[in-house]
Each structure stands twice: as structure tokens, then as C-alpha cells.
């Protein structure tokens, strides 16, 4: 379980950031790579703008704009400042503070499009943050001592915190933002959330490197690339995975059937009396039943892979397995669903368990969920569509024979 959570945090966006960071560091010493390096940020920005516009991903566009503003702030506001001025350090500290916080906020808010009232308000808030950086730069040039007193404030007197390159306030905000993104990614390990997490880390790397020689621009581009790849991965998940159950969808099954060899088995799984159950307890409880069944199906062994076929129907594909070889695993799957205790929450049941006693308005009771399964094996020149139809016919035989059984 721990390894799966760590994998959800790292792959693939984290690995991409590490790889691109190492690549940028390595190619910086090769003059021949100069033209490619100069084009890299523009290509990433153009790809991100296109994806954001095409798929109406307002959060992606705002995040890319935040990275671009941070890059321009470091490039334009630090160089003109004199060595005696505090304007340069103030810019670094504010960017280090605002960029991770902005990406963390974007990870938690809902997607509301691009050219919408909500999207435009969010863009205005982002511009307000840019104006704050500019105002701090001007103030730091006029009142350097007062500005430094705020941005260099000592929050913790611990010795290991006294030498932070961006000051304790900026470091504290950065740690809080990244901590919130880590928690969000563990709780909801989707591509978009991972993208914001690793883009924030990439932004921290860019601020730490600094604008000398245009290096920070390349590292900001790495953070943008992570967001672009996360958007593509999210679009793929939406197309090939069922949002309710998390299982691969029917399109993924069709593609998997195109890649199997001559020998394979398809099993169609249907939740018994689901319509009656839905009418009695409501669609919310019905969705909980589908998620429970999907979780059991995802644990099928014997090399099987579960898919959401549609409605209350699922499919399990066993590559390189005959019906005889797949049958024990299907029987085990049927029993695991039947043996699972499913409790119907009562209308007056409290959300939290009482500290003592049973409390009032308990659950409405436990119900048994069963599934009927029909399986078919590929034979001779049978097409995948023929095998699925044969498995569907076997499923109807299982239902006519009394349900909660497997027919092949």
C-alpha cells in the first residue's frame, strides 16, 4: 500500500521533472545545444496554451501564466536593481512565496473554463499577485530596511533555519504549499494534482537557480512541461477510464481485445437486481454498490483485467487463458462480491461514530450484493465481437438459472 502511494506521488510527472532538470543542467555546458534550448520554453508555452484552449483547461492556462510571470519577474526586476538595493532579493522572496501558493490554490479549486466569469476573475487575482511583486520591488528600492524587516523576519530561532536563501517567511509558505499538494495528491492521486505538485517543486528549483544566463527560464519551462504532460494524461484517463469506478472503460477493453493472441477468455459480469436496488435505495447508494463491485473486480487474479462495460455491467479479460483456466478465478470473484458486507446508511444515521452507545438512527441494515457471470473463450476465427456476444449469452443463461452463478 505504501509503495502504491509513493508511486502515485512520483510517476510519471515527478520522473519527468527529474529527467528534464538533469537534461537542462547537462546541456547548459554544450554550446551546440543553444538553439534548441532557446526554443524549448516557447514550445512548451505554445503547447500548453493550445491544450488549455482546446480542452478548456483554465487552471492549466493560469498555471502557465503564473510560471511566465515568475520568470519575467526574475529576469526583468533583478537585473536593473543595484547591488546596494534590496529590490532584487525582495523579488526573489515574493516569487518564491507566491508561485507555490498559487499552484497549490489552483490544485484545490474546480475547473471552470477559460473565458468564463469565474475564469476571468481568477485571471484578475493572478494579475493582482503580479502587481504585488512589482509594488514590493518599488518599495524595496525606496525603503529597503523596512521591506527586509518583513521578508527576512525570523519565525523560528532554530540555527538550521537562519541561512535560508529566500528567508523564513517565503520558505514557510513554500513548505506549507508543497505539503498541501502532497496531501492532496495522496488523497486524490490524479494526473492534474500530481502536475501541480511537481510544477511547484520545479518552480522552487527555478527560483533557487536564479536568472543568470537564462537558467531559471529553462527550469520554469520544465515546470510548464510537467503541467502539459499532466493535462494530456488527464485527457487520456477521461477517455479510457470510468470516472465512477476508476476501472478502464469500454474503449480500453476494445483496444485490449485487439492486442490479445488467439487464446483468451472474456467474462461479462452483471450486478443482480441492480435496477430494483437503485429504485429502492437511490442512485447514490447504487453508485456505492458499483464502486464496491469494481474494487472486488480490480483484485481478480489469474492474469485477468477488469473493465467497466456500461451501466451495471463489467467485463474481465483473461489473455492467454481458456475458460477452464479462468473459471476458478471467476468463481472466486463471484464469492468475494457475495461475501462482502454492504451496509445501507440510514437517513438519520450520524456521519461520525458516537463515542459511546449505539446512537439513534442507525444504518438501515446490511444487504447482500451478488453478480452473475458469463464467460466465453476465443475459438478458431471468431472475432472479439463474437466472443463478447457469446459471453453475453452465457451471462443471460446465468441470470435465467437463478443468478449469483457463473456460466461458460
pLDDT of res. 361: 42
Condensed to tens digits (0 to 9), the pLDDT of residues 147-178 reads: 888 887 777 766 555 556 777 888 889 999 99
Q: Reduce the secondary structure of the chain to three states and give it as a string.
A: CHHHHHHHHHCCHHHHHHHHHHHHHHHCCCHHHHHHHHHHHHHHHHHHHHHHHHCCCHHHHHHHHHHHHHHHHHHHHHCCCCCCCCHHHHHHHHHHHHHHHHHHHHHHCCCCCCCCHHHHHHHHHHHHHHHHHHHHHHHHHHCHHHHHHHHCCCCCCCHHHCCCCCCHHHHHHHHHHHHHHHHHHHHCCCHHHHHHHHHHHHHHHHHHHCCHHHHHHHHHHHHHHHHHHHHHHHHHHHHHECCCCCCECHHHHHHHHHHCCCCEEEEEEEECCHHHHHHHHCHHHHHHHHHHHHHHHHCCCCCCEEEEEECCEEEEEEECCCHHHHHHHHHHHHHHHHHCEEEECCCCCCCCCCCCCCCCCCCCEEEECCEEEEEEECCCCCCHHHHHHHHHHHHHHHHHCCCCCEEC
* Domain 250-349+362-407, CATH: 3.30.70.270
Q: What is the pLDDT along the chain (408 residues), one digit of tens a residue?
A: 445 556 666 778 888 888 888 888 887 666 666 677 778 899 999 999 999 988 889 999 999 999 999 999 888 877 655 555 778 888 888 999 999 999 999 999 988 877 888 888 888 988 998 898 888 888 887 787 888 888 877 777 665 555 567 778 888 899 999 999 999 988 887 888 999 999 999 999 999 888 777 788 999 999 999 999 999 988 888 888 888 888 999 999 999 998 888 899 999 999 999 988 888 888 888 899 999 999 999 999 999 999 999 889 999 999 999 999 999 999 999 999 998 877 776 554 444 544 544 444 444 577 889 999 999 999 776 789 999 999 999 999 999 999 999 999
Catalytic annotation on 400? Answer: no
All structural domains of the chain with their residue ranges = 2-240, 250-349+362-407
Predicted TM-score (pTM) of this structure: 0.76
| Candidate list 255, 312, 325, 400, residue with the active-site label | 312
Please write the tens of the pLDDT for every residue from 41-57: 999 999 999 999 888 89
Cell representation of residue 132: 504585488
pLDDT in tens, 316-343: 999 999 999 999 999 999 999 998 877 7
Amino acid at each position: 500500500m505504501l509503495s502504491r502511494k509513493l508511486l502515485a506521488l512520483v510517476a510519471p510527472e515527478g520522473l519527468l521533472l527529474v529527467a528534464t532538470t538533469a537534461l537542462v543542467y547537462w546541456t547548459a555546458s554544450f554550446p551546440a545545444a543553444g538553439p534548441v534550448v532557446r526554443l524549448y520554453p516557447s514550445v512548451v508555452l505554445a503547447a500548453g496554451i493550445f491544450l488549455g484552449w482546446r480542452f478548456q483547461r483554465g487552471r492549466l492556462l493560469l498555471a502557465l501564466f503564473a510560471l511566465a510571470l515568475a520568470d519575467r519577474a526574475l529576469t526583468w526586476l533583478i537585473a536593473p536593481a543595484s547591488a546596494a538595493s534590496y529590490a532584487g532579493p525582495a523579488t526573489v522572496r515574493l516569487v518564491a512565496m507566491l508561485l507555490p501558493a498559487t499552484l497549490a490554490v489552483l490544485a484545490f479549486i474546480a475547473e471552470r473554463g477559460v473565458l468564463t466569469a469565474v475564469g476571468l476573475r481568477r485571471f484578475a487575482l493572478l494579475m493582482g499577485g503580479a502587481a504585488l511583486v512589482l509594488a514590493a520591488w518599488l518599495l524595496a528600492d525606496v525603503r529597503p530596511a523596512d521591506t527586509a524587516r518583513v521578508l527576512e523576519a525570523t519565525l523560528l530561532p532554530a540555527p538550521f533555519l537562519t541561512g535560508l536563501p529566500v528567508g523564513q517567511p517565503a520558505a514557510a509558505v513554500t513548505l506549507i504549499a508543497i505539503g498541501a499538494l502532497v496531501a492532496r495528491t495522496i488523497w486524490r492521486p490524479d494526473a492534474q494534482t500530481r502536475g501541480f505538485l511537481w510544477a511547484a517543486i520545479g518552480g522552487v528549483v527555478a527560483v533557487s537557480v536564479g536568472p543568470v544566463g537564462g537558467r531559471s527560464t529553462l527550469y520554469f519551462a520544465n515546470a510548464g512541461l510537467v503541467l502539459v504532460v499532466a493535462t494530456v494524461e488527464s485527457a487520456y484517463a477521461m477517455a479510457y477510464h470510468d470516472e465512477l469506478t476508476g476501472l478502464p472503460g469500454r474503449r480500453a477493453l476494445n483496444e485490449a481485445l485487439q492486442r490479445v493472441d488467439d487464446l483468451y477468455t472474456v467474462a461479462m459480469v452483471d450486478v443482480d437486481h441492480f435496477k430494483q436496488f437503485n429504485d429502492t435505495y437511490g442512485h447514490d447508494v447504487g453508485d456505492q454498490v458499483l464502486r464496491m463491485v469494481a474494487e472486488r473486480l480490480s483484485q481478480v487474479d489469474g492474469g485477468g483485467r477488469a473493465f467497466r462495460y456500461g451501466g451495471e455491467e463489467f467485463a474481465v479479460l483473461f489473455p492467454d487463458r481458456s475458460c477452464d483456466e479462468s473459471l476458478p478465478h471467476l468463481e472466486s470473484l463471484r464469492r468475494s462480491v457475495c461475501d462482502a458486507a454492504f451496509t445501507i446508511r440510514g437517513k438519520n444515521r450520524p456521519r461520525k461514530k458516537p463515542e459511546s452507545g449505539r446512537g439513534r438512527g442507525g444504518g438501515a441494515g446490511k444487504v447482500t450484493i451478488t453478480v452473475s457471470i458469463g464467460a466465453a473463450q476465443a475459438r478458431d476465427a471468431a472475432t472479439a465481437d463474437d466472443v463478447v456476444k457469446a459471453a453475453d449469452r452465457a451471462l443471460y443463461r446465468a441470470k435465467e438459472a437463478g443468478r449469483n452463478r457463473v456460466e461458460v
